[in-house]
Amino acid sequence: MRRDLEDARRGGAFSAVERDAAARIIAAIRRDGDAGVLRAVRRFDRPRATTRDLVADAVDLRRAARGCPRDVRAALGLAYSRIRAFHERQRPREIRHRDGNGDVRLVPAPLDRVGALVPRGLSAYPSTALMTGVPAQVARVRELVAASPMPRDGSLDPALAYALTLVGAAALYRAGGAAAVAALAYGTKSVARVDRIVGPGNAYAAAAKWLVSADVGIDALQGPSELIAIASADADPRVLALDLLAQAEHGAGAFAVLITDSPALLRDVAARLEKTAPRVLLYRAPGLLAAARAADSAAPEHVLLAGRRAAALADRIRHAGAVFIGASSAVAFGDYVAGTNHALPTGGTARWSSALRVEDFIRWTSRVELRGGQSRLARAGVSIARHEGMSYHAASMEARV
Amino acid sequence: MRRDLEDARRGGAFSAVERDAAARIIAAIRRDGDAGVLRAVRRFDRPRATTRDLVADAVDLRRAARGCPRDVRAALGLAYSRIRAFHERQRPREIRHRDGNGDVRLVPAPLDRVGALVPRGLSAYPSTALMTGVPAQVARVRELVAASPMPRDGSLDPALAYALTLVGAAALYRAGGAAAVAALAYGTKSVARVDRIVGPGNAYAAAAKWLVSADVGIDALQGPSELIAIASADADPRVLALDLLAQAEHGAGAFAVLITDSPALLRDVAARLEKTAPRVLLYRAPGLLAAARAADSAAPEHVLLAGRRAAALADRIRHAGAVFIGASSAVAFGDYVAGTNHALPTGGTARWSSALRVEDFIRWTSRVELRGGQSRLARAGVSIARHEGMSYHAASMEARV
């Protein structure tokens, strides 16, 4: 099972079909600008869209936000404050090393312009506006814009608008998938080019992010959502079944795996799953340690450790987007209000990438300010430069002594 | 000038020709494994190479390192200790937020396996082995391997071998460019697949890194080297000319620009450049502030601020790989012994990416461990989940109250 999970799930955020379709959309938008975006929006989202529909500015967002129901407004406010509190702890500080030779530093600076992708499912996803917007705001990005597909009726979800006002977004571009990525990467008349594109999307958006990534920064590629739950016998089967069904609810290839060493628990959970839950797989493992190894090796987006013996395995999970520990830590809390980010690496990419963080909105400049008379440094530098065949490098260091 | 610099220099680490060639090499190596690598090595590096030549293990490296000349050994030792001291300051710490609701964290862990590209120019580049290896070592990466093309005679440079022993490399794969990238990304019989590929290379290597980046982590794409020097009238024209020539010495599209408001300095520097230095451009700017704005907007790999008035502009350069400040800070010191990293973003990508850092060898796992009875969090989470059409998400949170 371990090797299956690992081999099957590395990368895979998009297929060649999606890549080629995304490449065609990008080429069209680089050539035709807004007209290309509009064609894509009419084809995929709203047949009657016009160029004017494509951008909602900060004033439009504030106006639309007034329609946000009171309970959703309060909920987004609480989510915002918790996500913000956790991300504030991630704010970077200058790194400096000073000695008799002088001063070397890494100086952090926020990115100038960032574009956040906010996908649509059955409805708008204001939670994703918070997850992509808060770290940008904490990093003090100069201008944050968002892109999200419009529904068929062209309406603007008031909760999405409210979430975007909380994070200080300057505009919402009302396009999704590869079209949004192309417009943000290269700019059009109504969309200014950004320095980095972040946030989840469908397979076309993931393919497009990859395609533009030689020309603009991107965050991790995000494929279908995944959960591996490891449960010991004392886990609550009712709660566990809800977590697995919640995972499958993400749609579009999302899947959930339960691994347990308890045949009784396995039976109880199976009985509580809906008759057809094809996206939920149940495994019995010889022991929980083997289960933890399999999960770590698969490096999935989410790991849930349910039950006391399972919770004790947290330190064994080195490769995962996010780990939820213990009976009270529903994965869904992490989607909304725990404070951690829900934009997470998928498809085994957690072997090298991480949740969206404040760091993704920062760049670092090295600064070198040496004192005069660096004879020791120059001697060493000259030896290496000569060995590497770089005679002017050597001369430029010698000239400083 | 400003717009020219910005528009011309964004991305551009490779062309379509190099991309297609790299894609063919990658496909061949995914299909044929070591045989594909060997074909590439025979074609580009050493016609008489055999499979046995492809890997130098830790024992081979230690043996070869014995031949390293004493002065180069001492120089690499000093460079190593300075690079290490600066990178030790970059070691990350766990991020934690704890309140009445429980505990949320970001836990850092080193990557398991990293492959470092070490290009060859006129000679081997042991300095690049240090620059890619030290941050991996500081991050405590479990296994570091390097890849570097072999010379035509198949010899192994003792200084490169010595640098690789300093950083604890487990092996050196003796291939370069797209072949090295493909082998590291997908694995062959003699090359184990890595989780991230870092380090500079030629345009084929850059194209290959981009092509494999949906399946394996990469660092910033690195194109031809660049320097923008901004000098005030008091800068030393002799030293400045050497810095510009040192930059041009990188070859393969490398270029240097001098911008000054002093016609006298411009004349003096021009007189000292070799008759034909086609890769060095000299500009006169109306003022140094305009020069700094142009440099910041171009976001080049290196900025040199020479002379007192130029040095005062350091805070104006928000977008650059590395900034060298004042008369004593030769850019070449940064290539070898200053302590900062010489693997830097090029082609305007410094708008979103940074020098190679310890952070590039770390991944972060979110951990959520909430206490029981989260009625306030659940209420908020449920409101958002219902708005987003996620009823099992809502139920899984309600089940925790």
Query: Confidence class of residue A276 from pLDDT cuts 50, 70 and 90?
Result: low
**And the tokens for B330?**
């030769």
Nearest CA in chain A to B400: A328
Shortest Cα distance, chain A CAs vs residue B39, angstroms: 27
Instruction: Evaluate whether A298 touches A276 at the Cβ level (below 8 Å).
Output: no
Chain A hits for B139, CB-CB cut-off 8 Å, are none
**B364: nearest CB among A324, A354, A399:** A354
In chain B, what residues touch A238 (CB-CB under 8 Å)? 399
Say yes or no: B274 and B201 in one domain: no
**What is the pLDDT at residue B278?**
66
Output the six-digit token pair for B313: 């502009």
Rounded CA separation B185/B174 (Å)? 15
H or E element at residue B98 = strand B95-99
pLDDT in tens, B115-157: 999 999 889 999 999 999 999 999 999 999 999 999 999 999 9
Best residue in A247, A333, A340 to probe B by mutation, most B CBs within 10 Å?
A333
A139 and A166 share one domain: yes
Residue indicated by tokens 């494994």: B33
Q: How many residues does chain B have?
A: 401
DSSP summary character for residue A5? H
Q: Is the pLDDT of residue A8 over 50?
A: no
What pLDDT score was predicted for residue A9? Answer: 42
- pLDDT reported for residue A302: 97
- Spatial distance between the Cα atoms of B154 and B157, rounded to a whole number of angstroms: 10
Distance from CA of A42 to the nearest CA of B (A): 24
- Say if B25 falls within a structural domain: yes
* Residue found by looking up tokens 């044929």 in the block: B32
Tens of pLDDT, residues A121-173: 889 999 999 999 999 999 999 999 999 999 999 999 999 999 999 999 999 99
Does the beta-carbon distance from B72 to A350 stay under 8 Å? no
CATH number for the domain including A250? 3.40.50.1980
Report the C-alpha gap between A163 and B11 in whole angstroms: 33
Give the mean pLDDT of chain A: 94
| In contact, B80 and B130? CB cutoff 8 Å | yes
Residue window 114-143, chain B: list those with CB within 8 Å of chain A. Answer: 121-127
* Interchain proximity A354–B365, CB inside 8 Å: yes
Measured CA distances, B255 to B3, B244, B245 (Å): 18, 8, 9
Percent of chain B scored above 90 by pLDDT? 89
d(CA A40, CA A124): 19
Judge whether A360 lies within some domain.
no
Q: Which residues in chain A have their CB less than 8 angstroms from residue B378's CB?
A: 333
Helices (H), B105-152: 126-139
- B207 lies in the same domain as B264: no
Q: Which residues of B touch A20 (CB under 8 A)?
A: none
Q: What per-residue confidence (pLDDT) applies to A12?
A: 72
Q: Pick the residue from chain B with its C-alpha nearest to A347.
A: B215
Q: Which two tokens stand for residue B13?
A: 């680490």
Chain A hits for B104, Cβ within 8 Å? 86, 338-340
Gap between the Cα atoms of B355 and B370, Å rounded? 37
Give the residue from chain B lying closest to A368, CA to CA.
B324
- The average pLDDT across B46-52 equals 95
User: Is A373 an interface residue toward B (CB < 8 Å)?
Assistant: yes
Are residues A150 and A31 both part of a single domain?
A: yes
CA dihedral B318, B320, B326, B327 (to 10 degrees): -170
Contact between chains at A352 and B216 (C-beta distance less than 8 A): yes
pLDDT of residue A2: 42
Query: For residue A330, is it within any domain?
Result: yes
Is residue A306 predicted with pLDDT exceeding 70?
Answer: yes
Question: With bands split at pLDDT 50, 70 and 90, how would you rate the model's confidence at B12?
Answer: confident
- Both tokens of B113, joined, read 């396996």
Catalytic residue among A18, A226, A250, A301: A301
Cα A363 to the chain's mean position, in Å?
17
Within 13 A of B60's CA, how many CA atoms are on the CB side?
16
pLDDT in tens, A195-223: 999 999 999 999 999 999 999 999 988 88
Query: Which residue of chain A is at minimal alpha-carbon distance from B314?
Result: A367
What pLDDT, on a 0 to 100 scale, did the predictor assign at position B275? 64
Tokens matching residue B316: 């104006």
Q: How confident is the model at residue A254 (pLDDT cuts 50, 70, 90)?
A: confident
**Which pLDDT score, from 0 to 100, does residue B253 have?**
81
Residue A139 within a domain:
yes
Which of the listed residues B162, B191, B218 is the one where a domain comes to its end?
B218
* Residue A301 a catalytic site member: yes
Instruction: Specify the 3-state DSSP secondary structure of B370.
Output: strand
- Residue A230's contacts (CB-CB under 8 Å, 6 or more residues apart) are A259, A260, A288, A291, A292, A295, A303, A304, A305, A306, A310, A313
Residue B8's pLDDT is what?
A: 40
Give the model's pLDDT for residue A5: 41
Whether residues A191 and A239 share a domain: the answer is no
Check: CB of residue B324 under 8 Å from CB of residue B331.
Answer: yes
The secondary structure of B339-387 as a DSSP string is SS-S----TTGGGT--S--GGGGEEEEEEEEEPS--HHHHHHHHHHHHH
Residue B203 Cα to chain centre, angstroms: 14
| In contact, A180 and A205? CB cutoff 8 Å | yes
Do residues B276 and B304 touch, judged by C-beta distance below 8 A? Answer: no
Question: Which of B99, B104, B216, B342 best probes binding to A when mutated, by most A CB atoms within 10 angstroms?
Answer: B104
* Subunit contact B102:A329, Cβ cutoff 8 A: yes
The mean pLDDT of A79-88, rounded to a whole number, is 98
Whether residue A95 and residue B96 make contact (CB cut-off 8 A), yes or no, is no
Residue B308 lies in a domain: yes
Q: Is the dihedral of CA B44, B45, B49, B54 positive or negative?
A: negative
Chain A residues near residue B359 by CB distance under 8 angstroms: 359
Please give the full DSSP string across A308-329, using - where no structure is assigned. Answer: HHHHTTGGG--S-SEEEESTT-
Pair of tokens at residue B72: 């180069």
Decide: helix, strand or coil at residue B352.
coil
Per-residue pLDDT band at A368 (split at 50, 70, 90)? very high
With bands split at pLDDT 50, 70 and 90, how would you rate the model's confidence at A242?
A: very high
Structurally, chain A folds into a number of domains equal to: 3
Q: Is residue B59 part of a domain?
A: yes
A18 vs chain B: nearest CA distance in angstroms?
13
Look up residue A235 and give its two tokens.
């886990």
Nearest CA-CA partner of B240 in B161, B139, B327, B171:
B327
* Amino acid, res. A243: D
* Domain ranges, residue B41: 16-218
Q: Using a CB–CB cutoff of 8 Å, tell me whether B95 touches chain A.
A: yes
B143/B268 same-domain check: no
Helix (H, G, I), strand (E, B) or coil at B51: helix
When pLDDT is averaged across residues A376-395 and rounded to a whole number, the result is: 97
Q: Is A393 a catalytic residue?
A: no
Q: What three-state secondary structure class fits A210? A: helix
* B152 shares contact with chain A (CB less than 8 Å): no
Which position has the higher pLDDT, A249 or A116? A116
What percent of chain A is modeled with pLDDT above 90? Answer: 89
In chain B, residues with a C-beta closer than 8 Å to the C-beta of A372 are: 327-328
Task: Report residue B137 as tokens.
Answer: 């070592």
Q: For position B28, what pLDDT does the model report?
A: 97
Query: What is d(CA B50, CA B34) in angstroms, rounded to the nearest whole number?
Result: 10
B118: left (phi over 0), alpha (psi -120 to 50) or beta: beta
Asked whether residue A353 is domain-assigned, the answer is: no
**Nearest CB to B328; choose among A349, A374, A393:** A374
* Closest chain B residue to the Cα of A218, Cα to Cα: B352
Percent of chain A with pLDDT over 70: 96
Q: What pLDDT digit, counting tens, does each position of A324-345 carry?
A: 999 999 999 999 999 999 999 9
Provide the chain A residues 231-250 that lie in CB contact (below 8 A) with chain B: 238-239, 242-243, 245-246, 248-249
Decide which of A295, A326, A342 is a domain's last residue: A342
* A239 and A327 Cβ atoms separated by less than 8 Å: yes
Q: Which of B165, B195, B218 is the last residue of a domain?
A: B218
Q: Are residues B230 and B285 in the same domain?
A: yes
Cβ of B384 under 8 Å from any chain A Cβ?
A: yes
Q: Are residues A114 and A33 in the same domain?
A: yes
- Residue tagged 């994965």 (tokens): A331
Q: Is B92 in the A-facing interface, judged by CB distances under 8 Å?
A: no
Beta-bridge partners for A231: A260, A306
Distance from CA of B251 to the nearest CA of A (A): 10
- Per DSSP, what are the bridge partners of residue A325? A305
Give chain B positions within 8 Å (CB) of A125.
388
Q: Are residues B119 and B140 in the same domain?
A: yes
- B35: distance to nearest CA of chain A, Å? 22
Q: Which two structure tokens, joined as six digits, stand for B347?
A: 């082609």
Residues in chain A: 401
Supply φ then ψ for residue A29, to 5 degrees. -75, -35
As a whole number, the mean pLDDT across chain B is 94
The reply to whether A32 falls in a domain is yes
Closest by CA to B334, choosing from A196, A211, A365, is A365
Same domain? For B70 and B193 the reply is yes
Instruction: Assess contact for A139 and A110: CB atoms under 8 A.
Output: yes
Q: Which DSSP string do the residues of B260-302 spell out, in sequence order?
A: ES-HHHHHHHHHHS-S--TTEEEEE-S-HHHHHHHHHHH--SE
Q: Which residue has the tokens 């440099």?
A: B295
Residues 189-228 of A with CB under 8 A from B: 195-196, 210, 213-217, 221
Q: Which of residues B377 and A121 earns the better pLDDT score?
A: B377
Tell me: pLDDT of A362 over 90: yes
Query: Using CA atoms, how far apart are residues B159 and B118, in angstroms rounded to an integer?
Result: 13
Q: Which residues of A fall within a CB distance of 8 Å from B366?
A: 321-323, 334, 340-341, 344, 355
* Same-domain pairing of B229 and B214: no
Q: How far is A309 from chain B (nearest CA, A)?
A: 15
Give the whole-angstrom CA distance, residue B35 versus residue B15: 27
pLDDT score at A279: 82
CB contact under 8 A, B242 and A352: no
Q: Which of B18, B87, B250, B301 is catalytic?
A: B301
- Nearest Cβ partner of A367 from B126, B314, B394? B314
Q: Is the pLDDT confidence value at A274 over 80?
A: no
Q: Say whether A246 and B215 touch across the interface (CB within 8 A).
A: no
| Residue B265 near residue B239 (C-beta atoms within 8 A) | no
Q: Is A20 on the interface with B (CB under 8 A)?
A: no
Q: What is the pLDDT of residues A14-63, one digit of tens each?
A: 999 999 999 999 999 999 999 999 999 999 999 999 999 999 999 999 99
- In this structure, are A28 and A152 located in the same domain? yes
